[in-house]
Structure 1
Amino acid sequence: MSRVIAFDGIRNFRHFGEYGTRDGRTVRRGLYRSGHFARASNEDIARLTDMRLTLVTDLRRPLEREREPSRWDDVLNPRVLSSSIAGHAEPPHMAFLREGDLSAKGIRDFMLATYRRLPTDPGNRQAFAAGLRALADHASSESFVVHCAAGKDRTGIFCAMALELAGVDRGTVIEDYLMTNSAVDYDRLVPEVAANIADRTGRAVEENSMRIFLGVDGDYLNEAFGVMGSAEAYMRTELGLSDDEIARLRTALVRG
C-alpha cells in the first residue's frame, strides 16, 4: 500500500495511520500529514471533501499563514487549529539563508540545530498541544491532517510524537518520517526553491546543499527526541497535557 497520495497543488500528502503497535494493535485510519494548502486546486478540494477532512492542525507561524493562506471552501470548511504566537517576523531559516554557511556541512549543522530548537519554540508548543488535544476527541470516522509549510520538520515531529504515544516502535516512526525523501519530487523542487532563494537573498545554493536543506535525515529527528525525551514526557511537561488527556489521546490513536 502506498502511503503517498498525489494532489495537484499539495506536496508531501500522505497517510500516517495504520501502523502496527508493540502491543498488537493498529493505529487508526484517517490520519494524514502534508505541506501547505495554499495552492490546492478545485480537484484537490473535492478530493479532500470526499475524504471527510474535518480537522486541520496548521503548524505554520501567523506570518506564514498570511503570506500563503490555506485554500478551503464553504463545503469543506474544516476546523483549523493553529498558533497565535507570532514569534519572529520571519521564519528563522530565512536569516540563515541570507547570512549562514550554505555548504552541505553548514546546512546539515543548521538543520540539526533547528531540530533542537523546534520542540521548545513557544508557537510550536501551542500548536502541538492544540492539535493533540483535538485529536484526542476526534471521531474515528473522520479525517485529520497536520501540516506546516513543507510537511517535513514541524509536521515530522508532531507525527513522530503521536505514533510513539500510540505504541509504534521508534524504527517505524523514523521510517515514516524519512518517507518525505521519496514522497517529494526533488528533481523539480530543488531548482524551483533555489531560484526563489536567489531572488530573495541574492545567494546561490548548490544542488547537493539544497537537497539537504529540503530533505530529512533520521539524525534530525533524533536531535528533537534528545530534547523532548519520550513523547509522553514531552506532552506532559512541555505541552501541558494532563494524564487524562494523554490517556484519551492514546486511546483515540489506536483501534483493535
Structure 2
Amino acid sequence: MSRVLEFEGIRNFRHFGEYATPDGAKVRSGLYRSGHFHNATEADRQKLVDMNISVVADLRRPHERDHEPSQWGEGLRVLQSNVAGHKEPPHLRFIREGDMSLDGVAAWMRATYRRLPNEPGNQEVFAAGLRELATHGAEEGFVVHCAAGKDRTGIFCALTLALAGVEREAIYTDYLMTNEAVDYDALVPMVQKRLRDSYQRDVPADAMRLFLGVEADYLDEAFDEIGSAEAYASGVLGLSDDEIAAVRAKLIAR
C-alpha cells in the first residue's frame, strides 16, 4: 500500500509512521508530512478532520506564512516560529541569482542541508514538535510541513525516526519518497515558466528537477551536522533525557 495520500490542493502528503525498528517494534501510525496548505480545499480540510489530525507543525518562516497563508480549517493546535530569519527566502534568492547548473544546484542544496539544522526558527519548531510527540495521544494525527515538504520537513522526520530507533536505510527510504510522491513531469515545466516570467531565467529541466527533488547526499549533510539524534535533541534543541525517552516511548506502537 502506498504511503502517499492524494489531496486536491496539498502536495507531497504522506505517512511517515509504521516503520519497523531493529528490536521488532514499529513506529506508531498517524504521523504525516506534506507541503504547505495554502491551496487546501474544503474537501482537503474535511479529509484532515476524518484522519483525526489535531496538531500541525509549520516549519515555514513568518514571511512565507504571510505570502501563502495556510488553509487548515478549525480545531488544530499549530506549532510555528516567529523568528524572522532571512528577509528573502534563501531558495528564492538562489533561483534569482545563483548558479543553476547541475553542479551549482547540487552544491547549494548540500550547503542548505548544513544550514537548516542550525537555524533558530527550525530548531524552535523541531523542539516543539518533538515535545508534542512526547505527549501526543496515539489516537491523534500529527502533520509536519514546510513549503514543499521535502527539506526542513525531511530533516524533522529523519530526526524523529532516528529517535524512535528506525534504521538509517528506512529513514532514507522515507526521505527519498518525495521523488515518487511529487509529479515532477508537471511541476518542472510549471516552475521553469514561472522563473522565465518572474526573473527572465531559463533553467535546464535536469537542474530544475534536482533543485525541486531530494538526493541522499543532501540528508547526509544534515546528519553530519546533527551528529547523533539524541545529542542534537539534547544539546541543541534543549530536550531533557526524560523528554527524549518520552518521545521514543510515544512513537513506538503498543
Same fold (TM over 0.5): yes
Alignment-derived partner of residue 12 in structure 2: 12
Q: What letter matches 2:60 in structure 1?
A: R
Alignment-derived partner of residue 184 in structure 1: 182
| Superposition deviation, residue 191 in structure 1 | 1.1
Q: Considering only aligned residues, what root-mean-square deviation do their CA atoms show, in Å?
A: 0.9
Alignment-derived partner of residue 71 in structure 2: 71
CA distance in 2, matches of 1:186, 1:198: 18
Alignment-derived partner of residue 155 in structure 2: 157
CA distance in 2, matches of 1:123, 1:72: 21
Match of 2:203, SS state, is coil
Instruction: Tell me which of 171, 180, 192 is aligned to 2:169.
Output: 171
Alignment-derived partner of residue 52 in structure 2: 52
Alignment-derived partner of residue 35 in structure 1: 35
Alignment-derived partner of residue 94 in structure 1: 92
Alignment-derived partner of residue 115 in structure 1: 113
Match of 2:179, SS state, is helix
Q: What letter matches 1:16 in structure 2?
A: F
CA distance in 2, matches of 1:44, 1:218: 31
CA distance in 1, matches of 2:114, 2:199: 25
Alignment-derived partner of residue 223 in structure 1: 221
Over the matched positions of the two proteins, sequence identity in percent amounts to 61
Deviations 1:138-169 (A, max 9, x none): 11101000000000000000000010110110
Q: What letter matches 1:105 in structure 2?
A: D
| Superposition deviation, residue 122 in structure 1 | 1.0
CA distance in 1, matches of 2:82, 2:27: 30
Alignment-derived partner of residue 135 in structure 1: 133
CA distance in 2, matches of 1:161, 1:220: 14
Work out the number of aligned pairs and report it.
254
CA distance in 2, matches of 1:197, 1:146: 28
Deviations 1:186-242 (A, max 9, x none): 011111112222233221111000000000001000100000001111111111111
CA distance in 1, matches of 2:13, 2:73: 19
TM-score, normalisation: structure 2: 0.98
- 2:24 is equivalent to residue 24 of structure 1: yes
CA distance in 1, matches of 2:79, 2:105: 31
Match of 2:196, SS state, is helix
5+ residue gaps, structure 2: none
Alignment-derived partner of residue 82 in structure 1: 80
TM-score, normalisation: structure 1: 0.97
